[in-house]
Amino acid sequence: MDSNTSLFCSTSLAGRIEHAEAQLIALASAPARQRNRSGFATPLGGGVACFAEPGSPMNKVVGLGFDGALDPVALGAIELEYAIRETPTQIELSSLADREVAVLLSRRGYRLVAHECVLGRRLDCALPVATSPGIDVRVCGPEEFDAWLDVVVAGTAHPDDEGVGFHEQFSDEAIERDERDFYDAGATMYVGRCDGVIAGGASLMITGGIAQFTGAATAPAYRRRGIQNALLARRLTDAAEAGCDIAVITTAPGSKSQENAQRRGFQLLYTRAMLIKPVDGPIQASGSGENGSGTWKLVSAQGMCVSSETAGTDFAEPVRIVPFDGDRRALIDLFRLAEDSERKLDGYIGAGRVWVAMRGSAEVVGHIQVTVSDHGETWEVANMAVAVPHRGAGVGRRLLEQVIDDARAGGARRVQLATATADIGNLRFYQRCGFRLGRVVHDAFGPHSGYPAGTASDGIAVRDQVWFERVL
């Protein structure tokens, strides 16, 4: 390769490519997020954290490490959002990103599962021309889209055997939805014909002068005939004519796709590490001084006060559940996490019994309050919460298990609790803990019962209440 075509990847160029990738993921996931109201695309550390819908390839964090330090508290909040949706946190981290990001992720329990290659080439030089006989490439028209989609889904679902391969596998339905969303988001689709038969497809997105080559696949029966080379050549020409200065493609290491790209002048720029934190992994918090001070305090969006006393804590440390006999107002921040009505809270905060979850000798990370009725046969959970930075580590489950064990030992026949029908995370959590759905109380929440107008959870208005019961 001569000096006219070589491309050196500085951290500046890598940052530009990663920022474009973050924009691409946010844009391409928008149609799914409109279908699935629990989706999100949240800025994080110069990149973006996306959740499109269950099982989507777009459920990941991209673009970190090129725009200052990664805030551990913000990362913890994102980990919680994924955990609520029963989805592991997956981060794609460039090898040219700030190394402190990798150190932080390692400390938080992320594990490496795979790599992918990011290749690029300049577009201000001579471009290759496809010469394979019988191969024709054109922009896919609306009337061809379904046929294009069938070929791309089939090719993606049956990848080439060469190389390491991608670590993820998605259903045909998920791949189809993903490709339709790319189309709706403005991608240009290309269809490759072999002797008049649609045999391959690919797509192109343009972001900030970067041509992003996506969605390429060939039907297994038509591989090794030059279809992908022709698709690459056509997209390179169109990208240059559109004013792009570089083209970028992502491949599995050692794959046929990587070989095809390098034959067309692409060079390996860097790799991305695929880092996974399971849903049940520990969530941590850490931080640094504010205005030169040695301590800091932050009030989270959920109202929990997180301070330097919890910074850097290893939240994988075992939790102890113990009875609490002190002043319950000392736990007011925890109580308020589970109760939006101050009037209601004032009415029951002193009732029943309270247990707390302890880490170390003095750190309270969660609590549960229970009242007893029906001559001891019914235990009702009146209030339960886990401090935001400690969620996702099994603390809430431990609190419930302690109450269930004590209730059973005390001769109780059932444990009951209630939550808002809008609180999707709680609905899933309680059922995973063995509770069964009971009655629904309509219009339980509102100004008439002490709850502020407009209260919402997961984007859903908080109105109705649902009761759960676990028979002992």
Tokens of 426: 């709680």
SS3 at position 395: helix
Please state the pTM of the whole predicted model.
0.61
Phi and psi dihedrals of 246, rounded to 5?
A: -140, 155
Q: Is residue 257 part of a domain?
A: yes
CB neighbours of residue 192 within 10 Å? 32
DSSP β-bridge partners for residue 385: 367
459 and 392 share one domain: yes
Taking the C-alpha atoms of residue 234 and residue 128, their distance in angstroms, rounded to an integer, is 9
**Got the DSSP string for 61-94?**
EE--SSSS---HHHHHHHHHHHHHTT--EEEEEE
Confidence at residue 372, expressed as pLDDT on a 0 to 100 scale = 95
Q: Which residues pair with 218 in a beta bridge?
A: 200
Judgement on whether residues 273 and 320 belong to the same structural domain of the protein: no
Tally of domains in the chain: 2
Establish how many alpha carbons lie within 13 A of residue 137's alpha carbon, considering only the half-sphere containing its beta carbon: 27
Give the Å distances, CA to CA, from 290 to 36, 66, 285, 287, 297. 38, 22, 16, 9, 9
Q: Which of 256, 277, 298 is the last residue of a domain?
A: 277
Pair 219, 160 in one domain: yes
Listed as own residue / partner, the contacts of 173-177 with beta carbons closer than 8 Å and 24 or more positions apart are 174/55, 174/56, 174/57, 175/57, 176/149, 177/32, 177/53, 177/56
Residue 3 lies in a domain: no
| Residue 448 burial by Cβ neighbours in a 10 Å radius (0-12, 13-18, 19+) | exposed
**40 and 118 inside one domain:** yes
* CATH number of the domain residue 403 falls in: 3.40.630.30
- Residue 217 within any structural domain of the chain: yes
User: Within this chain, do residues 335 and 224 fall inside the same structural domain, yes or no?
Assistant: no
Residue 173, CB-side half-sphere exposure with 13 Å CA sphere:
3
Query: Is 311 domain-assigned?
Result: no
149 and 78 within one domain: yes
What pLDDT does residue 412 have? Answer: 95
Q: Is residue 350 in some structural domain?
A: yes
Is residue 210 within 8 A of residue 20, CB to CB? The reply is yes
Please name the residue that has the structure tokens 């490439």: 137
Strand 267-277, strand 246-251: pairing: unpaired
Strands, E assignment, 235-377: 246-251, 267-277, 297-299, 305-307, 320-323, 353-359, 363-373
From 277, 294, 327, the end of a domain falls on 277
263: tokens are 């034959």
Question: Considering the domain boundaries, does residue 309 fall inside one?
Answer: no
Q: Is 56 in contact with 174 (CB distance < 8 Å)?
A: yes
The residue range of the domain holding 206 is 11-277
The verdict on 266 and 155 lying in the same domain is yes
Which of 226, 246, 277 is at the close of a domain?
A: 277
Same domain (yes/no): 88, 139: yes
40 and 111 assigned to the same domain = yes
Are residues 64 and 201 located together in one domain of the fold? yes
Q: Are residues 30 and 161 in the same domain?
A: yes
- pLDDT means over runs of 10, the chain (472 residues): 75 97 92 83 94 90 93 87 86 97 92 94 82 84 88 79 63 84 89 88 93 88 86 93 95 89 93 88 38 32 33 50 92 91 92 91 89 94 89 85 93 94 85 89 86 76 91 94
Residue 305 forms part of a structural domain: no
* CA distances to 149, 218, 327, 404, 450 from 351, in Å: 61, 66, 12, 18, 19
Question: Is residue 320 one of the residues assigned to a domain?
Answer: yes
Whether residue 311 contacts residue 286, with contact meaning beta carbons closer than 8 Å, is answered with yes
Helix 424-432 to helix 72-84 angle (10° resolution) is 70
Same domain, 253 and 333: no
Distance from C-alpha of 37 to C-alpha of 24, rounded to nearest angstrom = 20
